[in-house]
Structures are given as C-alpha cells and as structure tokens.
Amino acid sequence: MNADQLAKARVLVVGDVMLDRYWFSAVERISPEAPVPVALVQREEDRMGGAANVALNAATLGAQTTLLSVVGSDDAGRRLAHLVADSPIRSAMRQVVGLRTTMKLRVVSRQQQLIRMDFESKPDHEVLLDLMDRYEQELDLHDVVLLSDYGKGGLTHVERMLAMARLRSKPVLVDPKGRDYSRYKGATLITPNRAEFALATGDWQGEDELQQQADRLRAALGLQAVLVTRAEDGMSLFTDTGRLHVQAAAKEVFDVSGAGDTVIATLAVMLGAGSSLEEAVRTANRAAGIVVGKLGTASVTPAELWPLP
C-alpha cells in the first residue's frame, strides 16, 4: 500500500463529535484549603475528539474524508468547527442552537492526567432526523461508511443508516457502545475493545470461549467480522474463515485515549483503498502501536506506518 492508493479511499465518518481540551500544568504544592494538588496551568490545547478524531485519523492517512455530525453553537462547538475547517477533513457538520457541545477537559501534569471533566448534552431526535437527507446524499460519494458511537445520541438512527448503506452495497464499520449491539445488525465489521465486548456478550475464559462468543455475535447480527481490540494483548479478528490474532505493536505507551479511533479509521482507509481485511487489521495494529506512544488524542501519518529504509 502507498500514499497514492490511500488517497483514492473515500471515507464517510458519522457519529458523536467532541472537543478534547487539555490544560497542561505544573504541580508543586498541595492546597491549604483541602488535601488536593494545586495545578498551575501553563498551556492550553484543543484537539478534535470522538468521531472528529476518527475523521482526522482517516484524513491524516490521506483518505478523502467527510465528517457528518452536529455540534452546538456554543464556544466549544465553534472551536471544534474551526479545528475541522483547518484540517484536511471535508466538513458536513451542522451547528445547532441550544445544543451543548460535548467537551472533555483534561488537566495534565508531567504527562499524567490529574482529572477529566466532561460537559455534554444529547441532541434532539428531530435534529438528527434532519441529517438523514444529507447522509443519503453523502453515501453515493463514498466507498466506506464509518459509524463512531460514543453513546452521546449522534447515532440515534443507526438502524436506518445501516439499511440505507446496505441498499447501496457500502461496507459499514462500527465502533460500538453499550450492552445492546442489536442496533448494529447488518454492519460489515464492529470493533469493540475488550471491556466493551465483555459488556455486550459476557466475560469469557480462554481463547476458545472468546471465539465462540464472537461467532455467536456475528451470526446473530449478520456481521462479516468482529475485531476485538485487547490493549497489550493485541487484537483478534473473527470471520467465517476463523480467527486472526495479531500481537500488540506498541514499544512505549504514554496514552491510550483515542487508540480505538486510530484502529477503526485505519481499517476504513485501508479497505477503501482496496486492501484485504487481514492486511487492514495488521496495518491498524501498527497504527495503534504508534499512536499510544503520543500524548492525548493523536493520529498517524503514512510515513510513520511505512517509513523509508
């Protein structure tokens, strides 16, 4: 795979976007008011989070990437829209008056998170329904659909989205959330992490039981594949032909936040560029190994994945 091939991939990302805000600080004393550290904020940084980070990962790899979502008309929403506009992402975001944009504020000292504060509200059902016409238009312009579910309400109509994509024979990759995966019925591939998979299917003992649970889930939902990401234990792909396990590629881990975004974005770009699923999984594993060596939500470039000798 090369950069020219990746540039031909057309990826539509739909889901819950958020603003990741970082306050980088120095902690040198304990507060006299309570036994808590005093963080002296020295630098602030805003990054795209959630589905926006997924889209950034796909765009950074060179794919033609469109982001379809809703944000508020508040400060965080305007900031997020500005970040997207300054990126290679083609924006199809809609700003909604009265909606509070999801924001995660992290206070960091010496590359360690001290605390994370979340601000959010779910979009109105009718607002999301209004996006369906735009979604239908975008389907015909893209090779792969990627649904990034963070449980914030942006994929309320996921069943209809999947049905519309199937009618057009578009592969759909889903990063799932919650206990009930029945809403993802008919997707091509889902990518739960270890904890998410256990929440939906129950705990397992050993590799054989893990495969049995994955195969049952595939059969029940009509999925072509299930990819379980397993942190330091790598990732396991389950298909009709069996199981493919790849060992974790990380050499040094600073921050695992956003690693799942990198995995599914890399899969989508690779498949959109004509790669086999096995090659896409191996490449996504390498990408995850690179991104966890960076602080905060981050992305990977083709040069990092395929460095020159």
Q: How far is the C-alpha of 27 from the C-alpha of 25, rounded, in Å?
A: 7
The one catalytic residue among 20, 149, 255, 261:
261
Distance between CA atoms of residues 50 and 56, nearest Å: 10
Return the closest-CA partner of residue 220 out of 168, 193, 183: 183
With beta carbons less than 8 A apart as the criterion, state whether 57 and 262 touch: yes
Q: What is the dihedral of CA 142, 146, 152, 153, to 10 degrees?
A: 50
Spatial separation of the C-alpha atoms in residues 73 and 52, rounded to whole Å: 16
DSSP-based helix, strand, coil % in the chain, nearest 5: 35, 30, 35
Distances (CA, A) of 186 to 98, 137, 229, 243, 261: 34, 20, 20, 20, 21
261 an active-site residue? yes
CB neighbours of residue 14 within 10 Å: 29
As annotated, the active-site residues are: 261
